[in-house]
Every structure is written in C-alpha cells, then in structure tokens.
Structure 1
C-alpha cells in the first residue's frame, strides 16, 4: 500500500510539471517607438519661377516741338521753320520672373501651430525692353542728337526682397502672409537709336501670401537628403519708388549739350513729363529644401 501511494504521488508530480510546461510563456512587452511630429522649424533654400505683370497705370503722351532754325532739325523749310518729335507712352510691363530664396522658420508647437520666419530672395525679371520707344518725327532730325523720352520710363532687370513671414501650420500644410523690404534695378531705357541711360536702383516694399506643403523625407525630389522638401505657391505685390522724370528730350552726341522742354529750343505742347512708381504683381511656384529640425 505504501508503495502504491508513493507511485501515485510521483505520477501526480510529473503530470503537474508537464502541464506547466505546456502553458504559454509570458512575452516581454513591445518597445514603444513614438511617431516623430513634423515641425517647420529650420533653415531652407530653394528656387522659384513665375510670371509678373503690371499693377500700376501710366497713360501719358509728350509732344516736343523744336525750331528748325535752332539747328535741332536739319530741315528749316518746314512750315513755320519747325520740326517735332512726339513720344507716346501707352505701355505696360509684364514677363517671366525666376530666381532663388533662402530663409528660416520657427514653429512654436510642432504638428499644428503658429510659424514665424524670415526670407530673402533675388529674382530676374524681363520688364520693359521696348518701353518708351514709340516716337514719331516730323522733319529730319539732326543725326548728332539722341532723342530721349522725358517721361522717365525705365525697364526692370532684377528685383529682390527681404520679408518677414507669419502663418499657421496644419501639420505639413502651412498658410502664411509675408511682407517687407523690396529693391530693384534696371537700365533707364528712355532713348532712341540704341542709347541707354544709367542703371536706376530703386527701393520700396512687398507684401503677399501663399501656401506651402512639406513632402515626406523620402520624396524622390529630395536630392540633398534634407529633412523635408516643400512646395509652395505664392502671390506677391511689389511697389518700387517713383522713377525720375526729366525735361531733357535730346542730347548732342558730339558736345553733350542737353536740349530741354523748357528752353527756347522747344516747348511741350501735349501731356507732361512725369515719373511713375514701378508696381507689379508676381504669381510664382517654388521648391525648398529644409535643413535642421525634423
């Protein structure tokens, strides 16, 4: 009997051990890896292209009448001994623009929140190559003279801005407004016969806004392994200082003598001489490479 009880106890112990071995093992809890939250904070650089068009108005006509007896015109046989040159300035400015930008953004709360920043850009612009060249001559002008449009119109070859930006981000989408300092320069292309005046540097202001979207880091556009590639569409209004007007309508190539509308040589009979602000709007698309915080 004693042996039977001992055998039964041993069998029970072995059965319990086998059952315990069959129980599922307790696995270690998984390691939690937080999903990174996108932030607009960081430096960026990129390029853009678009179209710029006139946002101002200019509709002036100047007619200068000069005496043939004064030597300005070679044909003194005109009625009354007079000749005339008439300037028609009914023109606008528009054309392609493109360039690059660099800036820095700071986002107060990653994910969604307020974003502030600063951006500088430099742009080529194709404005006014043929502005102010519409002229009509009555009589035969002296070939020693270069006739200049006294309205002070000028082309614009490039412009740039330094602007602040403020906006609100919804994760990878940023809506923003922008404004600040603007500058530009172009040749004072106011004459006929190939003469070009000195470059005219002007300053003013710019304001606008846009929308920007950040692509994933592994985007096929991320050639520089930046923390993000962003695409933007932006509208900008630019106003540069008034270009200078002059009452000079002709210059002697041999002596440098200037003939003005308020001298005995000529009188202004139609319109007036005046300058104008360079005002234009820009619609452009851009691509930025963001470096810094992820």
Structure 2
C-alpha cells in the first residue's frame, strides 16, 4: 500500500505541473529590428547627354579705320559694343568618378541671338573732301559708319574636374577650347544726304578658349540638373568694307576682339549603371 500511495502522489504532481504550464501565456517571438534606410548613392561614371538654356553678356571691342583705296588713313576710332542675348543648345560628355572626385570631358554647341551695333563719325571735309575753290566753297560732308556684329553660334570642348559636396551634388571647374562664328556688317552714309551704302556681312569662324564653373545635382533616377557660368574668348575678327559715296571711294577696316559671359541652366541624362540603394 505504501508503494501504491507514493506512485499515485507522483502521478498527481506531474499532472498538476502540466496543467499549470498549459495555463501560462505563449512566449512572444524575438523582435528583429528593421534595417536602417540609407539614401540611394549615385554613380557619376558614365556617358551623358542633355540640353541647356541661358543668357549671355557678350562684348566686341574694336578699332575701325577709314582709308582711301591707296591705304591712307583718313579717320580712325575705337569703341565697344554689347552683344547680349539668349543662348541655347545641347551638350554631351563622359564622367569618371574616383571616390569623391569626378573627372570628365564635355562638348557643346550653342545657337545665339547675341548682337549689337555702334557708330563712328568721320568729321566734315575728312573722309569726303569738298572743293574750297568753287564759287561757293564746298565742304565735304561728315560720314557716319554703323558697325553691326552678331555671334551666330559657338561651341566648346572642355575638361571638367569636380568634388562631391554630397554623393548627389557635384561642384566643378571647367575649361578648354572655344570656337564660333561672328557676323560683321556695316552701313556707311554721308550725314547730309542720308543716302547710305549697306555693305554685305563678313562671316568669321574663330577659335579661342573658355573657363568656368558650375554645380550639378541629381534630381531623379539618372537625371541631373546644373547651373553653369562660362567665360568665352573668341579672339579677334577683322575685315574690310569697300564702298563708293558719290565719286569718293572709301575702305573701312575693322578689328574686333569678341568675348562672352554666359550663365545657363541645363539638364542631363546619364546612361549606364543604375542608382544603387544601400541598406
């Protein structure tokens, strides 16, 4: 009996422990922290193409000399003209990213409506000589000349070097070759008669240099936007205009140095590798 009593007590104890365990709440699963989000990283390496639009403050600084056909200088003067207007075009290039540095090559072509005009006045009896021996002494009239110039188009081929202010914002400097076409024309007239001689334009394609800086940032996906300043020096353009006023043959010779200050905004699409997301 004693052994039977001990067995019954042990069985009851086991049953009570199991029932108590069944009444306890289930243990909650372990909490796993979600990975922290990191802003996507843009890979600047690759080929890109885009467009731009802006405004330009150009200048033509020139010297004009009016001569007779033999080359004797009758009048000379210096002046400068503002060649201001809208510029727009396209660009393409390639970037190499090395850690926080970006190196690149870029070419662009621009159309413009930059133009300006300034005038000279050759005094009386200078470019056209009157006849002082006539019954009523005749004085030669003053002669006015208006020199008009226009930058038809220009382009650049430049290197770029920049540093990443953030992974998605690039600060850069740029410089290299510039080239473009300048159209020059003249209108020459005696002041007294107002009958003018309009001389056909001379087109000059020049090669010079450019230097500038800008900021470019990622706006969405593989798209970037930029704001850029360029100084362009197209060197000197020169030419001669020959005309006849009455019976007097005149030749106007000009030499102009053409420079430009350009501020433009642009947008690019980069081909190749996608934006990489980090977690």
Cα shift readout 1:142-187 (whole Å, capped 9, x = no counterpart) = xxxxx9x798x74310001111110101222211000111111133
Equivalent in 177, 187, 199 of residue 181 of structure 1: 177
* Cα distance in structure 1, aligned partners of 2:271 and 2:112: 28
Q: How far apart, in 1, do the equivalents of 2:244 and 2:41 lie? A: 67
Contact 2:215 2:227 survives alignment (8 Å):
yes
Question: Per the alignment, do residues 127 and 138 of structure 1 end up closer, same or farther by CA in structure 2, a change over 3 Å counting?
Answer: farther
Alignment of 1:102-121 (within 5 A): 102-109=92-99, 113-121=100-108
**Of 231, 254, 268, the match for 1:237:** 231
Deviates more, 1:237-246 or 1:118-127: 237-246
Length, aligned pairs only: 238
Do residues 131 (structure 1) and 113 (structure 2) align? no
- Give the CA deviation at 1:33: 7.0
Please give the TM-score of this superposition, normalised by the length of structure 1: 0.66
Q: Given the superposition, is the C-alpha separation of residues 27 and 92 from structure 1 closer, same or farther in structure 2, using an over 3 Å criterion?
A: closer
- C-alpha distance in structure 2 between counterparts of 1:159 and 1:207, whole Å: 14
- Cα deviation per residue 1:31-68 (whole Å; 9 max; x = unaligned)? 6776532232233222222221235633x3534468xx
> What do residues 228-252 of structure 1 show as CA deviations (whole Å, max 9, x unaligned)?
3322221111111321333x53279
Give how far 1:134 is off. Answer: 5.8
Point out the structure with the larger strand share. Answer: 2
The equivalent position to 2:200 in structure 1, one of 196, 210, 218, is 196
Q: 1:64 to 1:32 in 2, by over 3 A?
A: closer
Partner SS, residue 11 of structure 2:
helix
- Separation in structure 1 between the aligned mates of residue 237 and residue 146 of structure 2, nearest angstrom: 11
Change (3 A) 1:28 1:283: closer
Q: Distance in 1 between matches of 2:101 and 2:218?
A: 16
The residue aligned with 1:160 is 155
SS in 2 for 1:46: strand
Query: Residues 25 and 18 of structure 1: is their aligned pair in 2 closer, same or farther, counting only changes over 3 Å?
Result: farther
- What is the alpha-carbon distance in structure 1 between the residues aligned to residue 94 and residue 44 of structure 2? 9
How big is the alpha-carbon RMSD for the aligned residues of Structure 1 and Structure 2?
3.8
Match of 1:250 in 2: 243
Alignment CA distance shift 1:44-1:22 (3 Å): same
Q: 1:281 to 1:28 in 2, by over 3 A?
A: closer
Contact 1:62 1:87 in 2 (8 A): yes
Separation of aligned partners in 2, 1:32 and 1:154: 61
Shift of 1:116: 0.8
Residue 286 of structure 1: how far off its partner (Å): 1.8
- Gaps spanning 5+ residues in structure 2: where? 129-142, 189-196
**Larger Rg over CA atoms:** 2
Change in CA separation of 1:243 and 1:27 when aligned onto 2, cut-off 3 Å = same
* Cα contact 2:186–2:198 (8 A) shared by 1: no
Whole-Å Cα distance in 2 between the matches of residues 57 and 285 of structure 1?
A: 27
Shift of 1:11: 2.1
Q: Under a length normalisation based on structure 2, what TM-score does the superposition of the two structures give? A: 0.69
- Report which stretch shifted further, 274-283 or 169-178: 274-283
